[in-house]
Amino acid sequence: MNPADDGHRVYRRHFDPTARTSLSVLAALVAPGSLVLDLGTGSGALGHHLHETARCAVDGVTLSADEQATARPWYDRLELLDLEDPSWVQSFADRRYDAIVCADVLEHLREPERVLQACRTLLRPDGRLLVSIPNVAYAGMTVALMHGDWKYGPEGLLDSTHLRFYTRRSFTRLLEAEGWHVERVEAIDHSWYYTEFWTPFDHLPPAVARYLLAQPDASAYQLVFAARPMQAATRPPAANVPAPDPSVAVAVYTATVHAVGSEGAGPTPSVHALGRIGAEAQTLAFTIPAAWAPLAGLRLDPADRPGLIRLQSMVLRDAAGEPVWHWHAAVDGAAPLRASRHAQIEFADAPAAAAGWPLALLGDDPQIELPLPPGALEGTGPWRLEVVCGWPLSADYLALLERVKPAERPRDEVVEIVLPVYGSLDLVRRCLASLFDARCSTPWHLTIIDDASPQPEVGPWLREFALAQPQVTVVSTYLGWMSSFIAFFFVLDGLAKSWKLPILAAQLPAHKATGPALPAFKIALLC
Average the pLDDT over 456-484 and give the result.
71
Strand partners, 170: none
Q: Indicate the burial class of 506 (C-beta count within 10 angstroms; 0-12, 13-18, 19 or more).
A: buried
- Whether residue 199 has pLDDT greater than 80: no
- Whether residue 397 has pLDDT greater than 80: no
8-state DSSP, 46 = H
Q: pLDDT tens for residues 373-385?
A: 988 898 888 999 9
- Band of pLDDT at residue 404, cut at 50, 70 and 90: very low
Going by C-alpha positions, the residue among 223, 66, 40 that lies closest to residue 134 is 223
8-state DSSP, 124 = E
Average the pLDDT over 125-148 and give the result.
92
Domain ranges within the chain, ordered by starting residue: 22-229, 246-392, 400-525
Percent over 70 (pLDDT), the chain? 76
Fold annotation for 22-229: Rossmann fold (3.40.50)
Angle at 170 between CA 221 and CA 15, to 5 degrees: 35
- Band of pLDDT at residue 265, cut at 50, 70 and 90: very low
pLDDT given for residue 250 in this prediction = 58
Mean residue pLDDT across the chain: 79
Average the pLDDT over 269-293 and give the result.
87
Average the pLDDT over 285-296 and give the result.
88
DSSP string, 174-242: HHHHTTEEEEEEEEEE--GGGSTTHHHHTTS-HHHHHHHHTSTTTTEEEEEEEEEEPPTT--PPPTT-P
pLDDT given for residue 403 in this prediction = 39
DSSP, collapsed to helix, strand or coil, labels residue 473 as strand
pLDDT given for residue 138 in this prediction = 92
Identity of the highest mean pLDDT range in 157-171, 218-232, 259-273: 157-171
